[in-house]
Every structure is written in C-alpha cells, then in structure tokens.
C-alpha cells in the first residue's frame, strides 16, 4: 500500500550487484568481494533465507597489491587464524614487499589507532592523517592508497580519514572472521 519512487544512477537496476552485456557475453559489473565485516549484507542474506555457504566462499584475508612500476615490489599480506587483532599483527610481520622499518611504522600506526579506538578528534583527509603519523610516501603509494581506493573508491587526498578508520576497525578488530574475504560463487545478477 505504499507508493515507492526508486532512483537509479545508472541505466540498469542492481547497484553494486549487477551484470552487463559485452560482445554477447554476460559480465559481472559490481562488487565482487565482501569482507566478513559486511554484517548487514550477511544479515540480509539470512533475512532472504539465503545460506552464506550456498552463495559465498569464505577465506582468511589474502591481500596482494601489485605494483605496476618495477622499482618497488608488490605487497602480499595474509592474516592468520589467531584472534583479532593478533591475526593482523602476524600478517604484517610476515608480509612481503615491506622493509623492516615499514613494517614497524605500520604496526606502530595500528597500535596507535587501537589505543584511540579508531576515533579521531576531528576528521581530516586520509593523506593528512597518514603524513601526521609518519607513513612514508612509499608506504602510502604501495599500501594505503590502493587500500583506500579498493575500500572507498576515493583517492586518499579526498577520502574521509574517519570513515576509512571505521572500515578498518570493523574489519580488523572484534571477531577474526570480520577480515575474511567473501567471494561470490554465482554471478552477481543472479
């Protein structure tokens, strides 16, 4: 009995769960990966009577950021099965593509964020926050910027640091499963 108006920003319905046709083939064109911290989405699946295991593969976070320039190595970070946030700490210690000093600076920054409960007194852009906490340009280029783009679809110079920190907190604190990768078993338009 309600009148509903639906506003869609694209020519096709589906938001971040849609397919498109290209040269006679159907291609997924939306969010292909979820994290275990996407609790609202997982709750929606339950509400719709969908079992997670029928639609999603779940695995520990395995993050590979490939650098297209050959002067810097790519990044490889994997979490362990330890409780959060120890799973991330071990992941940084074992990570590939960071120098010892870069690992130390990253771990130190995460400890600071944990102490502050991932809350800022005043929001600023993510690039400013990273510079305030002595994240080198190398770490920013090969880790923080690709991570911010993948999480928020926004460059670090304009991304809200607080919103980014909210995402990190949801993903890496609390339950260790919150940082799991969830990969769809079926095409998004299904």
A 10 A CB-CB count for 118 gives 19
Q: Is residue 73 scored above 60 in pLDDT?
A: no
What region does 88 belong to: left with phi over 0, alpha with psi -120 to 50, or beta?
Answer: alpha
Q: Is residue 14 scored above 80 in pLDDT?
A: no
Spatial CB neighbours of 1, under 8 Å, sequence gap ≥ 6:
none
Cα–Cα dist 93/150, whole Å: 23
pLDDT one-digit tens code per residue, 144-175 = 998 888 788 789 999 999 999 999 999 888 88
Q: Is residue 32 scored above 70 in pLDDT?
A: no
Question: What pTM does this model have?
Answer: 0.76
Spatial CB neighbours of 71, under 8 Å, sequence gap ≥ 6:
none
pLDDT one-digit tens code per residue, 16-28 = 677 777 888 887 7
Is 96 within 8 Å of 75 (Cβ atoms)?
yes
Q: How far is CA 52 from the centre of its chain?
A: 19
Q: For position 25, what pLDDT does the model report?
A: 85
């Amino acid at each position: 009995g309600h009148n509903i108006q639906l506003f869609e920003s694209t020519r096709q319905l589906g938001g971040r769960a849609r397919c498109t046709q290209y040269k006679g083939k159907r291609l997924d064109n939306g969010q292909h990966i979820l994290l275990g911290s996407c609790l609202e989405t997982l709750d929606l699946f339950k509400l719709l009577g969908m079992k997670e295991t029928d639609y999603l593969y779940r695995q520990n976070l395995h993050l590979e950021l490939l650098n297209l320039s050959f002067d810097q190595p790519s990044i490889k970070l994997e979490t362990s099965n330890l409780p959060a946030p120890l799973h991330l700490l071990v992941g940084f210690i074992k990570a590939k593509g960071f120098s010892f000093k870069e690992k130390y600076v990253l771990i130190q920054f995460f400890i600071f964020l944990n102490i502050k409960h991932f809350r800022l007194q005043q929001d600023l852009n993510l690039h400013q926050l990273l510079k305030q906490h002595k994240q080198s340009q190398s770490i920013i280029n090969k880790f923080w910027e690709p991570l911010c783009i993948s999480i928020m679809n926004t460059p670090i110079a304009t991304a809200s640091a607080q919103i980014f920190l909210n995402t990190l907190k949801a993903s890496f604190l609390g339950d260790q499963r919150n940082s799991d990768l969830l990969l769809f078993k079926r095409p998004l338009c299904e």
